[in-house]
Structure 1
Amino acid sequence: MDAGSHSISSGKNSAAVQRPPLQEAGSRPYMPPLSTTSRNPSAKCYGDRFIPDRSAMDMDLAHYLLTETKKDKENAAALAASPSKEAYRRLLAEKLLNNRTRILAFRNKPPEPENVLAAGTVSSHQAKPVKQRRYIPQSAERTLDAPDLVDDYYLNLMDWGSSNVLSIALGDTMYLWDASSGSTSELVTVEEDNGPITSVSWAPDGRHLAIGLNSSDIQLWDTSSNRLLRTLKGVHESRVGSLAWNNNILTTGGMDGRIVNNDVRIRDHAVQTYQGHSQEVCGLKWSGSGQQLASGGNDNLLHIWDVSMASSMPSAGRNQWLHRLEDHTAAVKALAWCPFQSNLLATGGGGSDRCIKFWNTHTGACLNSVDTGSQVCALLWNKNERELLSSHGFTQNQLTLWKYPSMVKMAELTGHTSRVLFMAQSPDGCTVASAAADETLRFWNVFGTPEVAKPAPKTSHTGMFNSFNHIR
């Protein structure tokens, strides 16, 4: 179990200052307390001068440390060479106090490295050009207001589509933010009996949007015409917290523990059911090839489902997981398939686990596990470099960039004052949007610009929704 609330409320506070959503945070009257944004709350600021506080100094202790022999392991060997206190003082005066010219003294410029072995002979071991380290901005490029964002770890309330439009659910309302123009529009506000919105996912065409509701319904929208195309009912018995597309298949995960494949082109849309979780399914991700599905649940389980296994079973894939992985000790929500290795999956655990784990999904082997020290809310791979970005909850509420496979920290991005529940990546892979319980949406230029822009493959999705008019 993870420390996320199952109780649903839109988070509205009538006493709070009402402000328009997805507006620049700098233009709003509401601002979070400055003290909560400090990177070092214990640090004191004394202005531009350092004024020593002698009352906080222990002069006797300082004198003892300079004159007495210490017995700790690190310094015992070095101080053993000093026969007495008098010898130590004499050595100190001789080498340091009476020879101040050695401190920060200018010296001749070191000689240039020789690039040739002999005249006219170039070394056979040419030094490889060192790749310049990418500059990673430490602050958000843009911050927008996101009032009424539901603070629930198990939901998935933000997605960035291939047409460069970001969708985010704020309470009962779905908003669309066009990254190209910076404009915001309201797609729909669901009825109070059906809300709040609990999940959102763009179809591959970047035009159609799936919305999961607290009432268990799933809505399919055409965002180009702001038209509701279809409502899928009876798929789940309770709220739909996770969604994932695989071409024309919309996979839904519910609080009832069920995972259902829905073919949106046909009337009887529920074509496949996976049953392996005993609690809410809070993470769903299809692999890039569309052959494997990863699911994470509040039962601390991670399942890998294979299309070939499910399609060959007459029981519609029921209970036929490829791998059932029980290594996490908290809810598994954060899932990310590696873009440069098709069988590599990264997963993150909740507050009682705090680990990022890497899996070979062909064999089910855990390749590595890294304790991050805090709740892992979301994971994203860099599409251009071997890097992984994680977002976290208590206690730092930060985004951490890792170098893969060494898992050395490259950067820690701070600014959010509550747990960073959701992340989404721009279509070009460079910008990351993060939404947190502090009701702000921040954009980070964390992944840089690719050296060579690869043209997006042209894929036709026109046949996905062409039969909605007669199957409503």
Structure 2
Amino acid sequence: MEKKRDSTGRWAPEKNQVTYKRFRRQMIQRSPAASTPVAPWRQCETNFEFDPVCQRLELDSPPRNHEPAERVVQGNLQASSFDGGTSYCEAVTPSITPHTGAENAPEQGWVWRAAAQEQQAASDERGRGLQPFDVLNKAAVILQGKSVTPLGAPSLLNDYYTNLLDCSCNGVIALALGSSVYLWNSETRALVGHLDPSPQPGQPYREAQSISCLCWSRDGRALCVGTRRGGIQLWDVEHQQNLTCLPSHLSVVGAISWKQQLLSSGSVLGHIHHLDPRAPTPLVGAAVQKEGICSLQWSPGDDWLASGSTEGLLHIWDGDITGIKRSHQPITTMKQPSAVKAMGWCPWQRKVIATGGGWKDGQLRIWDTQSGSCVSSVNTNSQICSLRWAESKRYVMTGHGLPHHQVTCWSWDCPSLSLIYQLSGHSHRVLHLTINRDNTQIFSAGADQRFLIWDL
């Protein structure tokens, strides 16, 4: 049916046609609340914490898809009051029980795969020949007078802000590759097995538990693993049992450190949680800093806790960890021009700590935490990605990015830092370093997906 024009020449509406004015009037009459402003999203979701640390240092970390913080965390979420009536939404106090696949678990647990089972499983999942810790060259290579053995580290995440490598006091290497943690005995040079997230119904395998950090306990019996979803997995490696799953944070767990039987973790939202895995309510203390945490370490005597931030601040906290204290302040704060990711306490000098600067800085610094002053520094002209002390040799080891991707050994005789030697074997930046207990071997993992063993 053709439309007709009215006396003014305009198109006349059809019999069943509704004009916009009429439609708007009808909607307002039917739904008076439609004209009421909608409450802001932060009022609607009181448990959601917006991540203020969404901008990474571009030169220190490659661009990647940023995972949003979890809006809903399974488990018991306790809101504790602070001065001024502010609630601490990250304080989580779940009950600890050995992992048995119970419905109360915050995330699905992990499963143990023996070395023989792992080889076939890894081959089926990846469909590639190179497996973790496969020897790339049968004979050790001599570089700069040092023997080095290159091994494969496929799927190693190229992220400056991760901490994915550690060596236990028993010489067992833990290396996170993708969503799994592989355990390798450095003395027997054999793969022990690996820890793997158990499949969840309706989810692709290994989707939800990407690893951001890990750390061995001081006795080498327990391995703690932090994920990008804010969870913490505690694993008894000796008995091959998953002890517990703790939904500790609502954001990425940036770093983990042990204080005897207590566990401290830091998130990219700047929250520090102190956990006692033996207690029914594991959260025994907490503190907050404004910047995101990318490194965390207790001093050798457990007197102080150092936290490095993405904004270049190094905070030193006292050993009092009891209670949830939003107003708790560090006793000392030091600043450098780039993120404090490479950091480590000196094992033989109390109150002395070393930090490495990123690409914008490149300085290796030795700090006196009592006075807050820098006592020694040297310009490496390179991004420092990782740092470890070798106590018996009185060395400090640094792993570098551009331009040479080397491992550098320094001798520190206060106040001077002296270059001992440089080890070049990686083709991309050396993201992670660790060292065995007797300081005879250095282990490095790089963005080239190679794991190198340096015999000193």
TM-score scaled by structure 2? 0.69
- Contact residue 140 and residue 442 of structure 1 kept, 8 A: no
- Contact residue 138 and residue 414 of structure 1 kept, 8 A: no
Q: Hey, what's the Cα distance between the residues in 2 that align with 1:247 and 1:359?
A: 24
Task: Specify the alignment match of 2:250 in structure 1.
Answer: 237
- Contact residue 233 and residue 245 of structure 2 kept, 8 A: yes
Q: Hey, what's the Cα distance between the residues in 2 that align with 1:315 and 1:268?
A: 13
- Contact residue 8 and residue 196 of structure 1 kept, 8 A: no
Cα deviation, 1:343-390, whole Å, max 9, x if unaligned, reads 111111111111111111122121122211011111122212332111
Query: What secondary structure is seen at the aligned counterpart in 2 of 1:25?
Result: coil
**Matching of residue 342 in structure 1 with residue 350 in structure 2:** yes
Amino acid corresponding to residue 300 of structure 1 in structure 2: G
**Matching of residue 368 in structure 1 with residue 376 in structure 2:** yes
For 1:240-389, what aligned pairs fall within 5 Å after superposition? 240-279=253-292, 281-308=293-320, 310=321, 316=325, 318-326=327-335, 328-389=336-397
- Contact residue 138 and residue 413 of structure 1 kept, 8 A: no
- Contact residue 347 and residue 356 of structure 1 kept, 8 A: yes
- Contact residue 431 and residue 446 of structure 2 kept, 8 A: yes
Task: Specify the alignment match of 1:415 in structure 2.
Answer: 425
Report deviation, 1:318.
Answer: 4.2
Task: Specify the alignment match of 2:60 in structure 1.
Answer: 3
Q: Hey, what's the Cα distance between the residues in 1 that align with 2:143 and 2:151?
A: 21
Query: What secondary structure is seen at the aligned counterpart in 2 of 1:416?
Result: coil
Amino acid corresponding to residue 450 of structure 2 in structure 1: T
**Matching of residue 207 in structure 1 with residue 225 in structure 2:** no
Pick closer, same or farther for the CA change 1:307–1:282 going to 2, 3 Å. Answer: same
Amino acid corresponding to residue 399 of structure 1 in structure 2: V
**Candidates 193, 210, 216, aligned match of 1:196:** 210
Cα deviation, 1:289-316, whole Å, max 9, x if unaligned, reads 00111111111111011114x55xx653
Amino acid corresponding to residue 219 of structure 1 in structure 2: Q
Query: What secondary structure is seen at the aligned counterpart in 2 of 1:141?
Result: strand
Task: Specify the alignment match of 1:218 in structure 2.
Answer: 232
Query: What secondary structure is seen at the aligned counterpart in 2 of 1:394?
Result: coil
Structure having the larger proportion of residues in strand: 2
Pick closer, same or farther for the CA change 1:198–1:300 going to 2, 3 Å. Answer: same
**Candidates 439, 442, 450, aligned match of 2:452:** 442
- Contact residue 139 and residue 415 of structure 1 kept, 8 A: no
Q: Hey, what's the Cα distance between the residues in 2 that align with 1:207 and 1:413?
A: 31
Cα deviation, 1:164-187, whole Å, max 9, x if unaligned, reads 101000001110001121111333
Pick closer, same or farther for the CA change 1:317–1:343 going to 2, 3 Å. Answer: farther
Q: Hey, what's the Cα distance between the residues in 2 that align with 1:143 and 1:363?
A: 42
Q: Hey, what's the Cα distance between the residues in 1 that align with 2:281 and 2:440?
A: 39
Q: Which runs of 4+ in 1 moved over 4 A?
A: 14-17
Q: In terms of Rg, which structure is larger?
A: 1
Q: Hey, what's the Cα distance between the residues in 2 that align with 1:212 and 1:336?
A: 19
Query: What secondary structure is seen at the aligned counterpart in 1 of 2:279?
Result: coil
CA RMSD of aligned residues (A): 2.5
- Contact residue 262 and residue 269 of structure 1 kept, 8 A: yes
For 1:170-189, what aligned pairs fall within 5 Å after superposition? 170-189=177-196
Report deviation, 1:137.
Answer: 5.5
**Candidates 389, 406, 412, aligned match of 1:404:** 412
Report deviation, 1:252.
Answer: 0.7
Q: Hey, what's the Cα distance between the residues in 2 that align with 1:351 and 1:403?
A: 22
Task: Specify the alignment match of 1:22 in structure 2.
Answer: 133
Q: Hey, what's the Cα distance between the residues in 1 that align with 2:288 and 2:217?
A: 24
Q: Hey, what's the Cα distance between the residues in 2 that align with 1:261 and 1:15?
A: 37
Q: Hey, what's the Cα distance between the residues in 2 that align with 1:207 and 1:324?
A: 33
Report deviation, 1:212.
Answer: 0.6
Unaligned runs of 5+ in 2: 1-56, 67-122, 198-204
Q: Hey, what's the Cα distance between the residues in 2 that align with 1:231 and 1:413?
A: 39
Amino acid corresponding to residue 369 of structure 2 in structure 1: T
Task: Specify the alignment match of 1:466 in structure 2.
Answer: none
Report deviation, 1:16.
Answer: 9.1
Pick closer, same or farther for the CA change 1:332–1:207 going to 2, 3 Å. Answer: same
Report deviation, 1:417.
Answer: 0.3
Q: Hey, what's the Cα distance between the residues in 2 that align with 1:274 and 1:371?
A: 33
Aligned length: 332
- Contact residue 225 and residue 232 of structure 2 kept, 8 A: yes
